[in-house]
Amino acid sequence: MQLVGIFRVTLALLAVSLFSCAQTGKTPQLSPLQLVRLTVNNEVSGGHQSVKHMFHSHKVTPKGTQTHIYVETAQAMAGILIAQNDQPLTAEQKQAEINHLSWLEGDPEALRRKRANEKQDADQTLRIMKALPDAFDYTDEGTETGTAETGGAGRPLVRLRFKPNPSYSPPSHVEQVLTGMEGTLLIDAEAHRIARIDGTLFKGVSFGWGIVGHLDKGSTFRVQQADVGDGAWEITQMKLSITGKILLFKSLSMISDETFTDFQRVPDDLTFSRGVELLKAQEEKFAKSSPERQPR
C-alpha cells in the first residue's frame, strides 16, 4: 500500500475514534508511539510538499558567518550569498555569485545533477523519518508552548523522550545512527507535525564495520520547524555538532547553527530561471537597505 494510502487509512481510523469519543463524552488518548506513528505518516505523505518559499538563511560556523537568500523551485533550490561575516559582499564576490547562478541556469546537466543531489539528501532524510516509530521507545514528558520558530507561537506541543528500541534492526547504514541516539521530540498533536527533534549520540556509531567511518559519542543535532503561514511548515533551525571519521583517516566535522527566516510564498510551479530573477531582485533590495555596511 502506498504511503498516502496508509496515511488516509490512519486518519480514517482516527476520525472513527474521535466520533466514538464524542458520542460517549470521552477524550481520545493516543499512546506516545501512536502519536509518533501518526505524525510520521503525515510528515512523509507528501501532501504538503508542493508549497514553496523564498527565505533567508544565517549560518554560523567556526570559520565565520554566511547569509544567503534561497528560493525553492520546481527544478532545484536556488540560492545566493549576500553577506559574509555580517558584511555585504564585494563587487567581485557579487559577480561570482551571479555567474554561478547563470551557469546553473544555462547548463541543464549541471542543474540535473544538483537536483539529483538534493533528492538523494531528501531520500535519506525520509528514510530516517520513516524509521522513527520503530527505532525508538517513547516516554511522555508533558507539554510545552510553541514559539514562532518552534511549531508556532502559543501552540501546545507534546514533549516525548526517546531512547533506542533494543529490538530495532536498522536496514542500512543510513538508519544505523539511530541505534546510538537518544533525545526529545516536540510534536504538534493537532497538526501532526514534528516541531523539534533534539538528538545526542550516547555512544559512538560505526558504519561498514568501522571501515567506512564512525560518528563520535557526544555528537548532537537539533532540527526545528514551524508553521510559517497558511498552514505551511518549513525548517527554521538546524544546529549540528557532529564529529567522527570517514574511511578510517579522514576527519569529519559538521559544526554549525543555521536559522531560516523571512519566509515568502512563491508559486508552486516556479521555474529555476524565474527563481534566479527573484534572488537577484532580493539581493538588490538588500544592498540598497544597508548602504552604511557596504565594504570600503
Instruction: Please report, for the chain, the start and end positions of each structural domain, with discontinuous segments joined by +.
Output: 52-293
- The percent of residues above 70 in pLDDT, for the chain, comes to 85
Looking at the chain, the whole-number percentage of residues with pLDDT higher than 90 is 72
Residue 246 is predicted with a pLDDT of 81
pLDDT of the residue at 92:
96
pTM of this structure: 0.84
Q: Which range (109-118, 140-149, 208-217) has the least confidence? A: 208-217
Of 229, 161, 148, nearest to 195 (Cα)? 148
The answer, yes or no, to whether residue 39 has pLDDT greater than 80, is yes
Average model confidence (pLDDT) across the chain:
87
Residue-by-residue DSSP string for the chain: --HHHHHHHHHHHHHHHHHHHHHHTPPP---HHHHHHHHHHHHHS-TTTT-EEEEEEEEEETTEEEEEEEEE-SS-EEEEEEEETTEEPPHHHHHHHHHHHHHHHH-HHHHHHHHHHHHHHHHHHHHHHHHHHHHEEEEEEEEEE-BTTTB-TT-EEEEEEEEE-TT---SSHHHHGGGGEEEEEEEETTTTEEEEEEEEESS-EEEGGGTSEEE-TT-EEEEEEEEEETTEEEEEEEEEEEEEEETTTEEEEEEEEEEEEEEEEE-TT--HHHHHHHHHHHHHHHHHH-GGGS--
Q: What is the mean pLDDT of residues 163-186?
A: 94
At residue 182, does pLDDT exceed 60? yes
Whether pLDDT at 18 is above 80: no
Q: In which band, very low, low, confident or very high, does the pLDDT at 214 lie, cut at 50, 70 and 90?
A: confident
| pLDDT score at 117 | 95
Phi and psi torsions of 202, nearest 5°: -85, -5
Q: For the residues 140-154, what does the mean pLDDT come to?
A: 96
pLDDT of residue 137: 98
Measured CA to CA, the distance from residue 28 to residue 46 in angstroms comes to 26
Rounded-to-integer distance, Cα 142 and Cα 232, Å: 25
- Cα 76 to chain centroid, rounded: 16
Rounded to whole angstroms, how far apart are CA atoms 52 and 73?
A: 7
Question: In this predicted model, which residue has the larger pLDDT, 226 or 46?
Answer: 226
pLDDT digits (tens, 9 = 90+) for 66-123: 999 999 999 999 999 999 999 999 999 999 999 999 999 999 999 999 999 999 999 9
Is 226 within 8 Å of 236 (Cβ atoms)?
A: yes
d(C-alpha 66, C-alpha 227), whole Å: 25
Which pLDDT score, from 0 to 100, does residue 212 have? Answer: 65
At residue 155, does pLDDT exceed 80? yes
Let me know: does 59 contact 257? Beta carbons within 8 Å. Answer: yes
| Mean per-residue pLDDT, 276-286 | 92
pLDDT at 139 over 50: yes
- Name the band, by pLDDT with cuts 50, 70 and 90, for residue 248: low
